[in-house]
Amino acid sequence: MTAPRQTQPGDDPLREVDMNRREFLLSSATAAGALGIGGYGVAASHVKELILQPASFALRGGQITNGMVSLSPDAPPPVLYGKQGKVMRLPVRNTLPEYTAMHWHGLRIPNAMDGVPYLTQMPMGENELFTYEFTPPDAGTYWYHPHCMTMEQMAHGLTGVMVIAEPENPGFDSEQVINLRDFRLNDDGSFLPAFTQRGAARSGTFGNVHTVNWLQSPTYDHAAGGLVRLRVVNTDTTRTYKLHLSASDARIIAWDGHPIEGEVPLPVKETPLLVGPGQRVDIAVAMPTDEGQTVDLIVKLPGQPHRAMVRLRAIRQSQARDLRELRPLPANPVAKPDLANAELHEFVFGWTPEGGIPDNGFCGTLGYNFWSINRKPWPGDAAQDVGPLAILKMGKTYVLRLRNESPNTHPIHLHGLAFKPIRSNQRKLPPLMTDTMLLLKDEVVEIALVADNPGDWAFHCHVIEHQKTGLTEFIRVI
Ligand code: C2O
Ligand code: CU
Ligand code: CU
């Protein structure tokens, strides 16, 4: 069941992917478990080089936006398809004059492949190549983005989705990747400055053109009565999306890559799902049975009526599938925390008491500090000669108490390890395994983890303006 591709790159998705379009479609479908992908992707096994380069794209109406950053000249970064337990080799070449480094968000891979400048590798200069090679231990929905010149390159487009397929398709007819992000554009389609001092000191600077896979309100066709796996990924630099579906024949099956244990309520208009920057949610949707009927993913933006970010349209004869036919997603091999023997570490996130000038090495600075962890502002993308915030011992369980002392929400992200939110002073937490915890205003959350991946793991807010102005550090596992 191959859904028509709505993003038409016009030629090969990557300049140096050595295959023609037919092979490209076949291999992507194979990598995704013989599913229609309803997007634009590439099997990691076919990647020759991922080439960071300038791009142009009609983001706003017919207006071409120049000065974008992608992996091809005229299309969004492709969905990268891998398989759980199968090696992925991703040579990244930087053709931009600015430095970069590529990070694979949520993947529990060896530290040296994590793509954090100064911490796990040196920044990559112009024409440099760095070959990332790793075997994803977990299936699920992940993503990739630069961790050097993070603001500039992400705000200009360089955020892509990674799909790590389970060994077996749990019973979907097709899937749909939904890369949510905003761009900050003038009326003529040119970029506005990606950040502002005012924004960085508050909840961040918001984009004004809302896109899915770089398109405004796209429609994707899927088989009537079929079972679709939505992979919703918030790759925005700032916005926490408030989402719900127009249909009720749907179920949340995974969060931040990991299968949900038990049922969580489906978000509705009055109680939408909050998906913070960096977070992902997988939703199983049963398509309506009549051709032409639709399911919308709806967002509430401040001061605006609800709007459909993306529409799924039923096509052809009904497949007459039922959500109950789906096999449960197998749990990922994440170690269970041993809470009885856990050691506690405390972290406080807030404004900085004194805003020294940040030093981000070759990786770009916004020029000021507003934020802190444990009352210290940390250098953005250049963790040289600082930290770690905590040293964890291999194999031991830790509880990290995350305290938000600010009125802003912070998606707190830890690299290299998955953790379980166990307690909040404000709400009942769903049964999740995650890599990014959305901390609400004045919230205190405890998360538990087993320190089972050695290395220096970046630990930061995923509102990039916060990350770049003090709210970032790292945790060492030895
Ligand atoms: Cu999405 Cu430090 O990462
Ligand atoms: Cu990450
Ligand atoms: Cu933040």
- Tens-digit pLDDT string for the chain (478 aa): 333 333 333 333 333 333 333 233 333 333 333 344 444 678 877 778 999 999 999 999 889 999 999 999 999 999 999 999 999 999 999 999 999 999 999 999 999 999 999 999 999 999 999 999 999 999 999 999 999 999 999 999 999 999 999 999 999 999 999 999 999 999 999 999 999 988 998 999 999 999 999 999 999 999 999 999 999 999 999 999 999 999 999 999 999 999 998 888 999 999 999 999 999 999 999 999 999 999 999 999 999 999 999 999 999 999 999 999 999 999 999 999 999 999 999 999 998 877 667 777 788 888 888 898 998 888 767 666 678 999 999 999 999 999 999 999 999 999 999 999 999 999 999 889 999 999 999 999 999 999 999 999 999 999 999 999 889 999 999 9
Q: How far is the CA of 328 from the centre of ligand 1 (A)?
A: 28
**Ligand 1 atom closest to Cα of 143?**
1
Give CA–CA dist 252/234, Å, rounded. 16
- Tokens encoding 103: 């990070």
Q: Is 466 near ligand 1, meaning CB less than 6 Å away?
A: no
Peptide bond between residue 388 and the one before it cis (omega within 30 degrees of 0)? yes
Q: Is 321 near ligand 1, meaning CB less than 6 Å away?
A: no
Query: In b/e form, how buried is each residue of 316-349, taking b as 16+ CB within 10 angstroms?
Result: eeebebeeeebeebeebebeebeeeebeeeebbb
Q: How far is the CA of 359 from the centre of ligand 1 (A)?
A: 19
Q: How far is the CA of 20 from the centre of ligand 1 (A)?
A: 33
What's the confidence (pLDDT) of residue 11?
A: 31
- Phi, psi torsion values for 312, nearest 5 degrees: -105, 130
Give CA–CA dist 359/356, Å, rounded. 9
For residue 26, give the amino acid letter.
L
Query: Strand 41-43 and strand 79-83: pairing?
Result: parallel
What's the confidence (pLDDT) of residue 430?
A: 86
Give CA–CA dist 317/292, Å, rounded. 10
Residues with CB under 5 A from ligand 2 (ion): 105, 415
What's the confidence (pLDDT) of residue 29?
A: 35
Q: Is 458 near ligand 1, meaning CB less than 6 Å away?
A: yes
**Ligand 1 atom closest to Cα of 106?**
1
442 three-state secondary structure: coil
The residue whose two tokens read 């506690």 is: 344
Protein residue whose Cα sits closest to atom 1 of ligand 1:
105
What's the confidence (pLDDT) of residue 8?
A: 32
What's the confidence (pLDDT) of residue 377?
A: 82
**Ligand 1 atom closest to Cα of 460?**
2
Q: Is 278 near ligand 1, meaning CB less than 6 Å away?
A: yes
Q: In Å, how far are 121, 214, 385 from 365, measured between CA atoms?
A: 18, 26, 17
What's the confidence (pLDDT) of residue 368?
A: 81
- Count of beta carbons in the 10 Å neighbourhood of residue 478: 11
- CA within 13 Å, CB half, 119: 33
The residue whose two tokens read 């993003």 is: 7
